[in-house]
Structure 1
Amino acid sequence: MSPRRRLSLALVWLALLLVGGWWISQQLQLSGDLRKFMPEARTPAQKLLIDELGEGPGSRLLLLAVSGDRPEVLARQSAAMVTALAGDPAFSLAANGGVAGLESIPEALRPYRYLLSTTLDHQPLDAAYLSDQLEARLQDLGSPMAALVEPLLPADPTLEVLALADTWQPATAPQQLHGVWFDREGRRALLAVQTTAAGFDPGGQEAALAKLHAAFDAVRGDSSSQLLVSGPGAFAVEVGGRTQREASFIGSLDGVIFSLLLLIAYRSWRVPLLAALPLASGGLAGMAAVALGFDGIHGITVAFGFTLIGVAQDYPIHLISHQRPGLSPWDNARALWPTLGTGVVATCIAYLTFLISGVDGLKQLAVFTIAGLGVAALTTRYLLPGLIDTTENGGKPYDAASSSAMAKVWGHFSRWPRMGVTTGVLLGAAGLAVIWFVPGPFWQNDLSRLTPVPEHLLVQDGQLRAELGAPDVRYLMVVQGADAEAALQASEALQPVLVQMQSEGLLQAFDLASRYLPSAATQRARQARLPDAPTLQAALDAAVADSPFRSDVFAPFLSDVAAARAAPPLTAADLAGTPLAARVDGLLLRSDSHATALVALTGLEDPVAVASLLAPHGAQLLDLKDASESLVAEYRTRLLWALALAAVLLVATIWVALRDVRRTLRVLAPMALAIIVLLAVLRGFGVELNLFHLVALILACGLGLDYGLFFDHAGDSREGQLRALHAIIVCSLATLLVFALLATSSIPVLQAIGSTVALGVIFNFVLALLIVRQPAAESGEGATPEPIAEHGGAELLQ
């Protein structure tokens, strides 16, 4: 192809990439909901686990500590923070134990206060009670509380709003200094903030954190105080930022190293540019496929997808390494295509298992990877040959077969003894023995062990939770009902049992939805105890007669009681848009067919005893840790069966391509042995395998298969073996470098994938060299590589 046509092709290709990138940027909606990468929940406990992780109050709770100044200064800043956050729609709750807790009771709900509180359950609203309350208000007006009490007095002479706000404070609240929460040492002012954004909404959590810090900066002034924020949302933002920084650093470093590697390997500045085009095409194709097939693409899909289709960088390397003088790039691509295409098809079969995984995120990953690998291979086959300049260096482009350096490398490797069947069987048996007999669990089911949150932050979070009395994140009580009303009634019936457990020391505290929203039946019973207007007026007149208050001052009070007496009971839907909605919604899960009332626990001491006490009352104690482990185990089992099916299809694909049982076994043997050896090494070092190791093993299998296929493609030709060895060395080094960098990451997921694939590259390369490579015949170019079967793979792939 002439230089002008090569330039035109390159410009058109780049233009298509730019247009494709622009279109994808318009269509693509990035998602941060990590539940897309969670297996489908099957049991009630698993379903609750998924709901709690993303939507529950625990996932939205942020714990704050203000320190670094005098207690009275910290108290003022804490109060100012709560006031600033109270009106912000990004937060459904901001509490510090102070009177600002009144903000949780909107003005529209205050007439309902006698229906929501327990006062009327044990105290009639009569003249004696009102007289006692008015006497207490006189004392309040002469105290420091006057500024708080005076505005409330006309509508609420019994200060029922304050009693209700106090009832809704955490049951195990910390000590108070200067009217707000402080830690035991009195050095840090404590706050609890609940975000409107779900725990699995990193964008929403990041925006909420930004508002928190902005509010603190506004109230701090020139103080030396500092703000500490902990909780799932803070961890998500911290980990997300760290992941982005590490990924950016590793990606940039890998790009530089990869370019240098290609410059050294091919001694041409054009090669890194040429190799980047199929990879970029594959990446854009993967994102376009996900954008068309799904509502949005997850950020993890993009990150993992580009990592997994990194195998596509091997395709242009094979094409360029197998290029030789006198051979048209088109003919070179045509000769390589059956082998290259077989590897692509086999690798895509492995990723097809993700499509039947039942996990939306992994389905996205499968579509991304399969589309990306397919397009990268097709552009290498049908576009890249047009850009290869065979006139470079005076018509003598780099040829690995004529390289003295490659001759030395080949001479070294050619002295390695080939591995026979007996040695291979012994190696496999030794690896299986290590896998079987090494003590300790084989699989890692504990999701918390995979957390990328630094240990000191977890310790800090535990300390703040202990100070604030935050609910247990592992155990949860569940009460089922046909609807919200039935669930609320059931939780109310359970409350005496919980109080008994508390008195016996089985748990420190509990929280349930009926604490904030009593059932309609309870509200009606309290309505019935409210006096009618004439009776209340007479009781109020009698109480006022013995006090200095004027009777007409309390007209708003009479109006509120009359409104509460005639109003329909409050429901969860009526709380929408109020701070109470977040509390109730987090503890009362509703659907069209049933409702579930949750009971959050603090300080659970004896789960077995508590579970046995709950059983007669129709309640259940759920262990969310056990639910998460069973969820992972069930999903892994499903994925392993899918991988077994993929293995059968993969063997069938290689046999159809090669049409020779002996060659098929020889190509597959290194991959199978490499997996056994890799698992044995991981087990030997005490590594418990998780789902991310499985993802990495699939990728390692694809790489090993490529090495085996191209060593087989080289046949017994010395020149063919030199070119194949050159391509495989460059591919191996490029892959090894990127995954070795990932193995150094502080993110456990990236560590697991990086270390597993890096070891897989080494084992696959060595075993393919020992098993698949044939003794070379000193026959020059005359010896042709043993081809893919003409009526097998060629028919399948062309």
Structure 2
Amino acid sequence: MRPRLALALAWLALLALAGAWAGQRLQLSGDLRAFMPEPRTPEQRLLIDELGDGPGSRLLLLSLSGAAPEALARQSRALATALRQDRHVDLVANGADDAGLEAIPERLRPYRYLLSPTLDDQVLDADFLREQLQARLQDLGSPAASLVEPLLPADPTLETLVLAEAWEPAAAPQRRHGVWFDRAGSEALLLVRTGAAGFDPGAQATVVTSIREAFAVAAGDSGSALTMTGPGAFSVEIGSRTAGEAVRIGAIGSLGLVLLFWFAYRSGRLLLLGVLPLATAALAGVAAVALLFGGMHGITLAFGFTLIGVAQDYPVHLFSHLRGGRSPVAVARGIWPTLLTGVVSTCIAYLTFFVSGVDGLRQLAVFTVAGLLAAALSTRFLLPRLLEPDRRDVATSPWLRRLGTRIDALPRPRAAPALLAALALAGAAVAALAPGDFWQNDLSRLTPVPEAALAEDGRLRRELGAPDVRYLLALGAGDAEGALQALERLQPALDALVADGAIAGWDSAARYLPSAATQRARQARLPAPDALRAALDEALAGTPFRPDAFEPFVADVAIARHAPPLRLGDLAGTPLEAPVSGLLLDMAEGATALVTLGGLRDPDAVAAMAAGSGARLLDFKETSEALVAAWRGRVLGALALAAVLLALTVWAALRSPRRVGRVLLPMALTLLLTVALLRGFGIELNLFHLVSLVLAAGLGLDYALFFERAGGVAEARLRTLHGILVCAAMTALVFGLLALSSIPVLRAIGTTVGIGVVANFVLALLLARSPADRPGIAGEDAA
């Protein structure tokens, strides 16, 4: 008793140390680019970048409703003020008159004359200054006086406000009570740009929480409601729904597994001991990924734990073969050759994901292989030493004996090759001829966001004139300056598209940062200090302004006359950095300028304009589908290699064509029938179906190996039957629950593996089980 207790405590201590080490080293990621293949074309590279950190992926669209417009306007201002203090938020726009002033920090204020288009067709002469001063007198007598007065000494022409207005989102909505409202005037609208990528659920959750908390303070007890959409909000919703379903499915599944285990073995001790190999598998997988990659994607972790569920079969096989008169160590030794063949085959199948070119699948391979090996080795060498010799033998169960007798009476379809061939042909025909697309290429189909939420996002996007998330214009150049000049040449064509109604608006880096050539041209039109003072004195004649009131203005113009042109690097740490860097990608191999399109109505007109101007209209839907097709091709290549290696492994273990056929045939038929059933029900196959087919194949191989090697001793065959029944029931329960999930990814995994488990069990039972009169493999009948 004491040695077993000491071993159990040492095992638990090792697990605790491994868990603590992995917890300190492991960094979880939510970046979906980890599950994307390496891009091959410029469009695919741009798509991957935009998915991660593009301007469209970082926008949150907000609407406030349910209160009087005046109250909503106050809440909009309060919410915007609070969010501008949040370090996770790059920009908040709500149409307030002073909202854009924060984009021009004090050190950049003299550059306003180089950034503003005013000097493209004006000069700072007496006539222009007189006209501007007269306008300022009117402003000082209006409700805008509090906004204009602080700017007036340094900026009598209000270039700061000209820039703030120019930097508003394209096709901005109407203003009511000083902030943006929808066309009906019942909702106050805000646009928030986050610092984190839209598909980083952890960082987005922080921003979403901050927005909700700030809104709760701003709204008080007014009864108003907040609606929030955008990629970041959806990623948070997806994470919340996935976590909620995981908890619910986990709770129901755990209860079901405990009940199944109790029914199978009537032993709480075996239930507790059976958890140890599973815990070992999970921690070994996490530790291996942490050691090799440093971080792990959340999908890898979630999917990896699902795949580790295969490891639950290992202790089950051991427990089902326990009986009086034979030590647990000897039983483990007897089943080990069969168990090892299944483990090695499954590991080889997953190792082929290293050639897929997808980092997330490489992580998944490491997690699964390390976990399965750890579970198998601990079941072989550690778990038996914690078990006491059991006087009970499942082979003596009356219900199992009756079931075994009925199964032995079943016909063996492998004796009728024509029947098997007909079954295979029927499955192939259904898979090939079922209506609808065979493959699912649309990434958006994998999102569990409700249709109503997507529709609301589209509505708010139209109201705010937010960028279209599907189309983007791109211009290439040798450097950032060349890209900015290309954008400036493109601007008249873009304005023509707006005038024709093809788009509602556009945005580019050149709206915020003109090219150095344009800045120098404007700089050349700035008067010298003496000339500016003379023009200003003439303009001031007859006005109530003091002669020296505008010395800060003269000083700023003097600075602007000699300042070097503003460059991309000069915007670091300012609110302008985020929009410009998101729309101007300056890399060692060259620069790419992006133009986002708002309210796109005529893609053909935009494509025609782009073709004649050297720009490229990128269709991210089309590009993503091409990327998914390339992704799928690599995975299918990996699966083909896995099939070859798996067959070689089984051959090395069995060394008999007939026996190898008995093991591989059920698995091959199951894969074909699973695909046929999915396609027959109109399901388009995606990556997660493919990876799940590998899991189903591993389970089927395990069932077939144990049935095939059970031998002719009745008790040995009954113990094998019991173990596989328990394994199949437990796996079918877990994946059957996943098949009922509302999350498309979980549903794809659950449906595929659930069908595979049932089909594998039935076909392995019919095709792989040994004849009652065939001797067993040495040591296995005794096991």
Partner of 1:583 in structure 2? 579
Native 8 Å contact 2:93 2:100 kept in 1 = yes
Residues 603-618 of structure 1: matches in 2 within 5 Å? 603-618=599-614
Counterpart among 392, 411, 416 of residue 410 in structure 2: 416
Partner of 2:75 in structure 1? 77
Residues 640-789 of structure 1: matches in 2 within 5 Å? 640-777=636-773, 784-786=775-777
SS at match of 2:548: helix
SS at match of 1:373: helix
Deviates more, 1:611-620 or 1:171-180: 611-620
Partner of 2:174 in structure 1? 175
1:481-516 CA-partner distances (Å, limit 9, x unpaired) = 111111111111111111222223322211111011
Partner of 1:29 in structure 2? 27
Take 2:772 and 2:256, find their aligned partners in 1: how far apart are those partners?
32
Alignment RMSD: 1.4
Take 2:399 and 2:779, find their aligned partners in 1: how far apart are those partners?
29
Residues 323-472 of structure 1: matches in 2 within 5 Å? 323-390=322-389, 392=390, 396-397=391-392, 399-420=393-414, 421-472=417-468
Take 2:524 and 2:408, find their aligned partners in 1: how far apart are those partners?
96
1:596-652 CA-partner distances (Å, limit 9, x unpaired) = 000101233332332233223211111100110000100111111121111111101
Partner of 1:145 in structure 2? 144
Take 1:664 and 1:362, find their aligned partners in 2: how far apart are those partners?
29
Native 8 Å contact 2:36 2:631 kept in 1 = no
Residues 613-632 of structure 1: matches in 2 within 5 Å? 613-632=609-628
What is the CA-CA distance between 1:430 and the residue it aligns to? 0.7
Deviates more, 1:688-697 or 1:435-444: 435-444
Take 1:720 and 1:155, find their aligned partners in 2: how far apart are those partners?
95
Native 8 Å contact 2:311 2:375 kept in 1 = yes
Native 8 Å contact 1:131 1:546 kept in 2 = no
Long gaps (5+) in structure 1 = 778-782, 790-798
1:10-59 CA-partner distances (Å, limit 9, x unpaired) = 11111111121122222222222221112111111111111111111111
User: Does residue 1:113 correspond to 2:112, yes or no?
Assistant: yes
Take 1:450 and 1:352, find their aligned partners in 2: how far apart are those partners?
26
What is the CA-CA distance between 1:776 and the residue it aligns to? 2.0
What is the CA-CA distance between 1:92 and the residue it aligns to? 1.1
User: Does residue 1:54 correspond to 2:52, yes or no?
Assistant: yes
Partner of 1:265 in structure 2? 264
CA 1:788–1:46 in 2, change beyond 3 Å: closer, same or farther?
farther
Take 1:609 and 1:189, find their aligned partners in 2: how far apart are those partners?
33
Deviates more, 1:406-415 or 1:708-717: 406-415
Residues 258-297 of structure 1: matches in 2 within 5 Å? 258-297=257-296
Partner of 1:228 in structure 2? 227
Aligned residues: 777
1:749-781 CA-partner distances (Å, limit 9, x unpaired) = 00000011001000000000110113324xxxx
Partner of 1:237 in structure 2? 236
Native 8 Å contact 1:674 1:763 kept in 2 = yes
Partner of 1:793 in structure 2? none
What is the CA-CA distance between 1:200 and the residue it aligns to? 3.0
Give the letter aligned to residue 498 of structure 1.
L
1:412-434 CA-partner distances (Å, limit 9, x unpaired) = 32232111222111100110111
What is the CA-CA distance between 1:788 and the residue it aligns to? 9.9
Partner of 1:560 in structure 2? 556
Native 8 Å contact 2:709 2:770 kept in 1 = no
What is the CA-CA distance between 1:708 and the residue it aligns to? 0.4
Take 1:638 and 1:301, find their aligned partners in 2: how far apart are those partners?
18
Partner of 2:506 in structure 1? 510
1:70-114 CA-partner distances (Å, limit 9, x unpaired) = 100100111122222223322111111111222222222221111
What is the CA-CA distance between 1:266 and the residue it aligns to? 0.7
SS at match of 1:389: coil
TM-score by length of 2: 0.97
Give the letter aligned to residue 403 of structure 1.
S
Give the letter aligned to residue 404 of structure 1.
P
Native 8 Å contact 2:199 2:231 kept in 1 = no
SS at match of 1:473: strand
Partner of 1:780 in structure 2? none
Long gaps (5+) in structure 2 = none
Partner of 2:93 in structure 1? 95
Deviates more, 1:403-412 or 1:332-341: 403-412
SS at match of 1:579: coil
What is the CA-CA distance between 1:578 and the residue it aligns to? 1.2
SS at match of 2:142: coil
What is the CA-CA distance between 1:360 and the residue it aligns to? 1.2
What is the CA-CA distance between 1:173 and the residue it aligns to? 1.2
Partner of 1:792 in structure 2? none
Take 2:369 and 2:219, find their aligned partners in 1: how far apart are those partners?
53
Native 8 Å contact 2:238 2:447 kept in 1 = no
Partner of 2:310 in structure 1? 311
Take 1:169 and 1:251, find their aligned partners in 2: how far apart are those partners?
48
What is the percentage of aligned positions where both structures have the same residue? 62
TM-score by length of 1: 0.96
Partner of 1:12 in structure 2? 10
Take 2:190 and 2:612, find their aligned partners in 1: how far apart are those partners?
38
Take 1:665 and 1:702, find their aligned partners in 2: how far apart are those partners?
16
Partner of 2:300 in structure 1? 301
Take 2:294 and 2:321, find their aligned partners in 1: how far apart are those partners?
42
Give the letter aligned to residue 197 of structure 2.
A
Take 2:290 and 2:401, find their aligned partners in 1: how far apart are those partners?
47
User: Does residue 1:206 correspond to 2:205, yes or no?
Assistant: yes
What is the CA-CA distance between 1:784 and the residue it aligns to? 4.9
Take 1:759 and 1:449, find their aligned partners in 2: how far apart are those partners?
22
User: Does residue 1:532 correspond to 2:531, yes or no?
Assistant: no
1:295-348 CA-partner distances (Å, limit 9, x unpaired) = 212222111111001000000000111122211211111111111000001001
What is the CA-CA distance between 1:518 and the residue it aligns to? 0.4
1:446-500 CA-partner distances (Å, limit 9, x unpaired) = 0011111122211111111111111111011000011111111111111111122
What is the CA-CA distance between 1:663 and the residue it aligns to? 0.4
Deviates more, 1:80-89 or 1:181-190: 80-89
Native 8 Å contact 1:104 1:579 kept in 2 = yes
CA 1:787–1:647 in 2, change beyond 3 Å: closer, same or farther?
farther
Give the letter aligned to residue 121 of structure 2.
H
Take 1:265 and 1:214, find their aligned partners in 2: how far apart are those partners?
51
1:232-255 CA-partner distances (Å, limit 9, x unpaired) = 111111111121121122223222
Native 8 Å contact 1:284 1:372 kept in 2 = yes
SS at match of 1:63: strand
What is the CA-CA distance between 1:787 and the residue it aligns to? 5.2
Counterpart among 550, 560, 565 of residue 546 in structure 2: 550
Take 1:614 and 1:375, find their aligned partners in 2: how far apart are those partners?
57
Native 8 Å contact 1:34 1:200 kept in 2 = yes
